[in-house]
Amino acid sequence: MKRPDHEATDQPYPVLSNRTITWAAVALILFGGGLATILLITLGDGRHDAQLEAIKTAGTIVLGTGGAAALWLTARRQRTSEIALIQKHLDQQAIDRAHKLQEEVARSGEADAESRRITELYGRAVDQLGSDKAPVRLGGLYALRRLAQDNPEQRQTIVDVLCAYLRMPYDPAEGTQEEQVRLAAERVLAKHLRPGNDATFWSGIEIDLNHATLTNFDLSHCRFGPADFTGARFIGTSNFGHTEFTGPVSFRESLFRGSVDFEKATFGDTSHFTEATFEGFTRFKKARFAKFLSFMNATLSGDAYFSECIFQGKAIFTQSNFIKHAGFTGSEFMHEADFGGTNFQQGASFLSAEFAKTSWFFMAKFHGPTFVPDGSFKNFPFNTTDPDGPLKEKTLWCWARIDLGVSKRHIWPRNWVVEPSPDRPDGVTEGRWGRLLPQDESLRASLPDD
């Protein structure tokens, strides 16, 4: 079996000296002469032709032996050349491995040096951000921004640091210097969360601003992943218009002290506004909610507009409180909608709204004029769980105030009327009220007694 080429170099292959070659030639001549003498003695028999034949035979043997030696030397030279080529190849491979190892060591050294440099810059910037002097904090803020821009793998960490800074206790009445630093931090987040410029956009960022105090917060036209604004305070105008929330988002127990705009915002996952408080004008016009939405126990003190919204998942407004006008004009509820116990204090509009599945308004209170025209409920009549069945419980009824005057009358879907009641909803002390009931006597007959 033929051995691999690299094994050939493991065997000793001595070099032939000139002395060895000379002695081999002398030996060959002596061998030829001796052989000729022996043949002449044994085969010559004194005859001239026999002696000539003996000499020719001896010459042929000598020439053959010399030719064999020459062939051996040629083969040996060829083999030596092959071994030299193999050795050269192996030497080159060893050189390449050594060079590659040197490059890897150099890269490792560069990476270690770069890592140390980044760590030093990061530590210095964080120290500056913790300074008691506002200009120094601003310097640290922009140093972190530059570090994140140059090192994509550090961006989430640096965003976490900026969010942690904004979560620190802050009183807007403390002074303008700290406010300027915080506004700068907010602007850094906004600039790098807006797609459109690949050079400055930081993709896949998560936001954690729970219980942060944010002033004139503007993340309009931004895109980011999971976001937590639980318990956050928004001072002044807040803008999330055209924002794309790609992950779950929470505004639970958040407080919006001024107006807030979510126009054309996209909520790609679950969204929670449970127990949130909106003290100013609130707009969700043309917003899209892809999954579950909760406004349970939310308070909206200013006009609130959800016009032309698309609710693809279940929408919960249970026990929410709309102190001023609530507008759902042109909205589309593609899943269940629950307005149970919701308090509409100055009226509500569902003009051109469409409810594709079960819609709940049990114990909802309509203080002002309400517009729920025909065609809004595609598959289910108002306040029922079965399109062909009766109302299940008397608690499915809605309360509506009936002493509003002609210009403020309610408009309900066809075959639904408000029947005056001697009672009032719980917690209401004034006005005349009625219950929303089906006009069809057969449906009324199926209602349980009190």
Nearest to 211 by CA among 185, 225, 229, 226: 229
Nearest to 308 by CA among 338, 288, 334, 280: 288
| Tens-place pLDDT, residues 181-226 | 999 999 999 999 999 888 899 999 999 999 999 999 999 999 999 9
Higher per-residue confidence, 216 vs 406: 216
Q: Is the pLDDT of residue 365 over 70?
A: yes
pLDDT for res 232: 97
Task: Give the Cα separation of 43 and 31 in Å (integer).
Answer: 17
Domain segments of the chain as ranges = 5-113, 194-445
pLDDT for res 233: 97
Q: How many CA atoms lie within 13 A of 83 on its CB side?
A: 15
Give 224's strand partners: 245
pLDDT for res 277: 98
CA dihedral (75, 76, 78, 83) positive or negative: positive
Radius of gyration of the chain (CA): 47
Question: Is the whole model's pTM more than 0.85, yes or no?
Answer: no
Instruction: Say if residues 444 and 438 touch (Cβ distance below 8 Å).
Output: yes
Mean pLDDT of the 36-44 span? 64
Q: Phi, psi (5° rounding) for residue 108?
A: -60, -40
E strands, 15-100, in order: none
Q: Is the pLDDT of residue 180 over 50?
A: yes
